[in-house]
Amino acid sequence: MRDTCNYKLYFITNNVHKVEEVKLVAREYSICIEQAAAPKIEIQSNDLEPIAINAAIKAYSSLRKPVLVEDAGLFIESLNGFPGPYSSYVFKTIGIKGVIKLLNGIQDRRAYFKSVVVIIAPPAFIIEEGIVYGVIASQPRGNKGFGFDPIFIPEGLKHTFAELSIVEKNMYSHRAIAVRKAFTRLRDILKI
Ligand code: IMP
């Protein structure tokens, strides 16, 4: 199906799952998303926001076209928010199994995903965030999605994110919340 779009944004990411999720939300706003490769290196910070802002400024400076950058992480309450902005590294190193091991014997399974979205589309410079609260499952379940989806159960549901379709995940996810807020503001600022 071809998208009819009023506006095109370059989504700077190497994650095709994120692209699929954001494309579906963008369609609600008649915005088209084109993926553009992200540099391998990003700045380190204890907060997602500076990471996303820095990446967006760099991407806009080189591309000179409207860009969208998104940075996300899983924050586990009993681990004082770990892995948070280090989620990508933790996923690559100890992975889902390692996280489940860290929580072995811990009753408090509460966690949340946070997403920070930055859009640079002059005159618009938009920063928005989205949070979804939930719990960490005792075992991974489901084969959809990516990253920590198989162990995250959003509040009010029995299924993990990895057991949901993209449309269903977008009804709850941190990313869909942040992106919807950002697209609403973009539409208002650019009158698209
Ligand atoms: P990134 O830096 O925004 O790419 O995200 C860092 C890491 O957080 C990813 O590698 C994933 O492991 C995890 N993550 C972020 N968003 C999600 C999500 O929607 N589902 C599952 N894992 C996620």
- Position in ligand 1 atom list of the atom nearest CA 146: 21
Distance 31 CA to ligand 1 centre (A): 23
- pTM for this model (two decimals): 0.96
Distance 85 CA to ligand 1 centre (A): 9
47 is catalytic: no
Name the CATH code of domain 7-185 (choices 3.90.1150.10, 3.90.950.10, 3.30.565.10, 3.40.47.10): 3.90.950.10
Looking at the DSSP bridge assignments, the partners of residue 75 are 83, 112
pLDDT digit of tens for each residue in the chain (192 aa)? 566 788 999 999 999 999 999 999 999 999 999 999 988 778 889 999 999 999 999 999 999 999 999 999 999 999 999 999 999 999 999 999 999 999 999 999 999 999 999 999 999 999 999 999 999 999 999 999 999 999 999 999 999 999 999 999 999 999 999 999 999 999 999 998
Structural domain boundaries in the chain: 7-185
Residue closest by Cα to atom 7 of ligand 1: 88
